[in-house]
Structure 1
Amino acid sequence: MENKDLMRTIQVKFPRLSKGQKLIAEYILKHYDKAAFMTAAKLGVSVGVSESTVVRFANELGFTGYPKLQKALQEMIKNKLTTVQRIELSNDYISQENALKGVLKSDMENIRATLEKISYKTFDSVVNSLFGAKKIYIIGLRSSSALAEFLGFYLNLILDNVQVVAYGVSDIFEQMLNISEDDVVIGIGFPRYAIRTIEVLSFAQSRGAKVVAITDSLLSPLASKADFTLIAQSNMASFVDSLVAPLSVINALIIAVGLREKDKISNTFTNLEEIWQEYGVYSLKDKENKFI
C-alpha cells in the first residue's frame, strides 16, 4: 500500500469497521504523528480498546500485522516532522528515566534492520566504483556532515583522491566545477533531507559522474538520483537523528576499501606514527606509567 493512500484507505473503510476499530481510526486520523511511534498495546490503552483489536484493525486495512501499519505511518510522516514535533514525540515514548535504555535499544534495532535491508551486492559495487574513480567527492550536510567528514578522513588516508564538499568560502558547486564521468560522488542524507545535497547529486548525475547514496530508504530523494544506494535505518522519534547504523555502514565501507590496500595502509600509518610521536599528537606513558 502506498503511504499517501493510507489515510484515504482508513476513511473509505471507516463505515465497515467495528466500534472499537472506529475509535482507533479516529485517533490515527487526528494523531497519526503520535500513533506512528506507539506499540499496539500503547495505542490500545490510549484509545480504550484491547491490543488484539488494534492488530485486527491493521489486518482490516490490508496489513499482515500492526508493525506493517506502524511502518507505513512512520514512512508517511518522517519527512514532515519539525524539530518541535520530534521533541514532543520523544517525550511520549522516552522519559528521562529510561532515556539511556530507550535510545540504545532503538539504535540496536536500527543496526539489526540495516543488516537485513542492505544489499551486499550493491555494497561490493560501491567499493569497486571507488577504486575506479579518478576523484571521489563526498557530501553530507546538516547532521550528516559529521558522517561525511568521518568517511572523508579515513578514505583520504587510503586513496588520496577524496574531497569532502561542504559550505565554506567557495560555493558547493564551485568545489565540484571539474567533476566528470570519471568521478564518483557519495551523498549522505537522512530525514529531514537537506535540499542542497539532493541538488548536488542531480548536478553530478548531469555531468555523468557515478552517484552513491547512503540514506534510509529506496524512496529517499537521494536514492532517486543514485546509481547505487546503501540503506541504513535511522528511525528515531526525537530531535536528535540516530546516525549509529549509517556510521556502521560507513565503517564497513572504509574497512572494505582498506582491506584491498593493506600494504599502502601499513606504510601510511607507519609514517603517521612517526609524525604523531615526533610532534606529540597523542599522549604516551613512560615505563613509570607517567604521561609524557
Structure 2
Amino acid sequence: MSSTHVRTAQPATHEPDLVSDGYDAFHQKLRARYATLPTRLRQIADTILKKPDDIALGTVSSLAADAQVQPSTVIRFARTFGLNGFSEMQAIFRERIRSRSTSYGERLHALHGEDGGPATSVAVLDGFYHAAIASLDALHHHLDRKKLEKAITRLVGAQRIYILGLRRSMPVTRYLSYLLTKMEILHQVIGLESGMEEEAMLSAGPRDAAIVISFAAYAPRTVELFKELERRCVPIVAVTDSPASPVIPSTGLWLDVMEADFQGFRSNAATMVLIMTLATAIAERRK
C-alpha cells in the first residue's frame, strides 16, 4: 500500500523511502509543497503532473524544454524532493507505468501469499481496510476547510446540481445521486449508461452548479464534458487529486482527495465520505 504520510525533506538529501514508496508518495509530497515552490520549480511540477508518462520515457533535456527551464533546474527540482537526480525521479514514474498497466488478473495474482497460494480472505480484508483508513486520514488532515465551505455555499444556491464522474468515479456519482434524491434536491447525472451526455446538460447554465469527480489518469471523456460545462458558465466544484488536474475550474474551486491503494486496487473511501458530507450539508442548509 502506498504511504500517505508526508515526510519533510531537505534539499540534496537522499530519501530511499520515497523511492521505494513510489509514485503515490512522491505525488502527495509534491502536492503538499506545490504552493511554496519557487516559480521555476513550479513550472517543472506543472509539467510533471500534467504529463507523468513523458517523464518516464523522456530525458532531462526534454523535461526542461517542456517546462521552459534549464536542465540544471530539473536536477535541483529532484534534489529538492530528496532524490539524487533525474534518473532516480524517472524511476518512480517508470514504476508507475508498470503498475498501471497491470490487468485485473495480474493484480489478483499479486494478492497471492509468499508460498504462491491465494491470499486469505482476512489478508485481503486487512489490505483494503488499511488503504481505506490511510485515505480517510489524508482527507481529514489535508482537506482545505475554507474550500469545503465555499463548495457547499456554491452548491446550496444552485437551481440544479449536475454530477459528472466516469469510470472509477462512477460508484461515487451513483451514490451522490441516491443521496440527493432522498433529500429531494434537484439534480442531473451526466454520463451513466444512456450515452447522451451532452443532451443531459442542454439546460445547464450559470444558475446551476456541477460536481465533477475525476482522478489520475483522468478519463478523457470526463475532461471533454467538464470543458462543456465551463463553456456553459456552470459554476463547478471539482473533486480531484492534483493542482494540475485538467478538471479544476477557472475559479480554482476544487477539493483535494488522495486515495491509497492495495495491490493496485484503489480505494474510494475518502471520496465517498466527502460526497456524503457535501450532500448532507447542502440538504441541511437548504432547510
TM-score range, shorter chain: 0.5 to 0.7
| Shift in Å, 1:122 | 0.9
2 CA distance for matches of 1:148 and 1:260? Answer: 21
1:61 aligns with 2:47: no
Q: What is the alpha-carbon distance in structure 2 between the residues aligned to residue 71 and residue 89 of structure 1? A: 25
Per the TM alignment, residue 113 of structure 1 is displaced from its structure 2 partner at its CA by 1.0
Query: SS at 1:223's partner residue?
Result: coil
Per the alignment, residue 4 of structure 1 pairs with none
In structure 2, runs of 5+ residues without a counterpart are: 1-11, 26-77, 114-118
Aligned to 1:100: 125
Task: Give the residue type in structure 2 aligned to 1:36.
Answer: G
Which of these residues, 36, 39, 49, is aligned with residue 22 of structure 2?
36
Deviation at 1:183, TM superposition (A): 1.4
**1:217-248 C-alpha deviation (Å, 9 max, x unpaired):** 22322225664211111131544321001101
Query: Which residue, 126, 134, 149 being the options, matches 2:174?
Result: 149
Report the AA paired with residue 100 of structure 2.
T
Counterpart Cα distance in 2 of 1:72 and 1:224: 30
Equivalent residue letter for 1:161? L
What residue in structure 1 maps to residue 274 of structure 2?
A: 249
* Amino acid across the alignment from 2:200: Q
Residue 89 of structure 1, CA deviation: 7.1
Q: Is the 8 A contact 2:127 2:262 kept in 1?
A: no
Answer 1 or 2: higher relative contact order, Cα 8 Å, separation at least 6.
2
1:84 aligns to 2:84 (yes or no): no
Alpha-carbon contact 1:139-1:187 (below 8 Å) kept? yes
Matched, 1:114 2:100: no
- Please list every run of 5 or more consecutive structure 1 residues that lacks an aligned counterpart in the other structure: 1-12, 40-59, 263-292
Aligned to 1:123: 148
Q: Distance in 1 between matches of 2:209 and 2:82?
A: 40
C-alpha distance in structure 1 between counterparts of 2:133 and 2:238, whole Å? 22
State which structure, 1 or 2, has the greater radius of gyration over its C-alpha atoms.
1
Counterpart residue type for residue 219 of structure 1: A
- Count of residue pairs the alignment pairs up: 213
User: Is contact 1:86–1:237 with CA below 8 Å preserved after alignment?
Assistant: no
Per the normalisation by structure 2, the TM-score is: 0.61
1:199 aligned partner: 224
Q: Aligned in 2, Cα 1:173/1:81: closer, same or farther, shift over 3 Å?
A: farther
Q: Does 1:133 align with 2:158?
A: yes
Distance 1:216-1:138 versus aligned 2 partners, 3 A rule: same
Structure 1 residues 195 and 103 mapped into 2: Cα distance closer, same or farther (>3 Å)?
same
Native 8 Å contact 1:234 1:241 kept in 2: yes
Distance 1:242 1:170, change over 3 A: closer
Aligned mates of 2:179, 2:22 — CA distance in 1: 37
- Residue 260, structure 1, aligned to residue 285, structure 2: yes
Distance 1:62 1:130, change over 3 A: closer
Q: Which amino acid aligns with 2:187?
A: V
SS in structure 2 of the partner of residue 260 of structure 1: helix
